[in-house]
């Protein structure tokens, strides 16, 4: 039975068309330290270049802000738009993350100008948060967020293709 299930999954049209195949990189690693408690350290990044969608309130989105707790691997997905400013992201962070969990002690992200701005530096100084910025154009430096982003992209791609096959009119925002 296990062989039949494996065979069926390997022949799934949606999975075959949408899976992302990659090879592990070789070399010396400098991993981020493992945290001792949840919601103490987070990694974040953006899924960009998505099709613009509108929610029921008229808000328009075209990217997803992915926030991953480095200890528990809990993922928070916040729809955003590429025109949002640092203040907008700060307000979204406070209302969608801090409100439910706590202020993390450490935030790791790439060098996105929205997250390296004065707003975020002031927040970090005031709340005693350490901001870690990874090397530019090196996705693997923020591996936790990148692995989650790859999984989200694959899942959304499969869901949207499945919707198309079944004549359903849904968008990525509805699947969040």
Q: Domain for residue 28, yes or no?
A: no
Question: Do the domain assignments include residue 4?
Answer: no
For Cα atoms 41, 47, 55, give the angle at the middle one, nearest 5 degrees: 105
Domain assignment of residue 104, yes or no: yes
In a domain, residue 1? The reply is no
Give the CATH number of the domain where residue 142 resides. 3.30.420.10
Band the pLDDT of 95: cuts 50, 70, 90. Answer: very high
State the chain's maximal CA–CA distance in angstroms: 58
What b/e string do you get for 28-40 counting C-beta neighbours within 10 Å, with b at 16 or more? eeeebeebeeebb
Predicted confidence (pLDDT) at residue 169 exceeds the cutoff of 80: no
Q: Would you say residue 17 lies in a domain?
A: no
Mean pLDDT across the chain: 85
Q: How many domains does the chain have?
A: 1
In a domain, 14, yes or no: no
Spell out the alpha helix ranges (H) of 11-142: 13-18, 86-93, 118-127
What is the per-residue pLDDT across 39-78, written as a single tens digit (0 to 9) for each? 899 999 899 999 999 999 999 999 999 999 989 999 999 9
**11 lies in some domain:** no
Report yes or no on 70 lying in a domain: yes
Kindly report, residue by residue over 4-25, the tens digit of the pLDDT: 888 887 787 777 667 665 555 5
């Amino acid at each position: 039975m296990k062989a039949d299930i494996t065979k069926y999954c390997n022949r799934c049209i949606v999975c075959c068309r949408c899976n992302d195949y990659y090879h592990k990189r070789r070399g010396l690693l400098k991993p981020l330290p493992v945290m001792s408690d949840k919601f103490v350290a987070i990694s974040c990044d953006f899924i960009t270049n998505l099709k613009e969608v509108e929610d029921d309130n008229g808000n328009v989105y075209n990217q997803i802000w992915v926030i991953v707790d480095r200890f528990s691997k809990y993922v928070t997905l916040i729809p955003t738009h590429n025109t949002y400013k640092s203040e907008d992201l700060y307000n979204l962070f406070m209302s969608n993350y801090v409100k439910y969990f706590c202020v993390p002690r450490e935030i790791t992200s790439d060098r996105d100008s929205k997250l390296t701005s004065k707003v975020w530096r002031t927040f970090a100084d005031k709340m005693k948060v350490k901001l870690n910025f990874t090397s530019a154009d090196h996705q693997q430096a923020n591996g936790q967020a990148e692995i989650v982003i790859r999984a989200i992209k694959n899942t959304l791609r499969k869901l949207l293709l499945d919707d198309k096959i079944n004549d359903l009119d849904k968008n990525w925002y509805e699947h969040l």
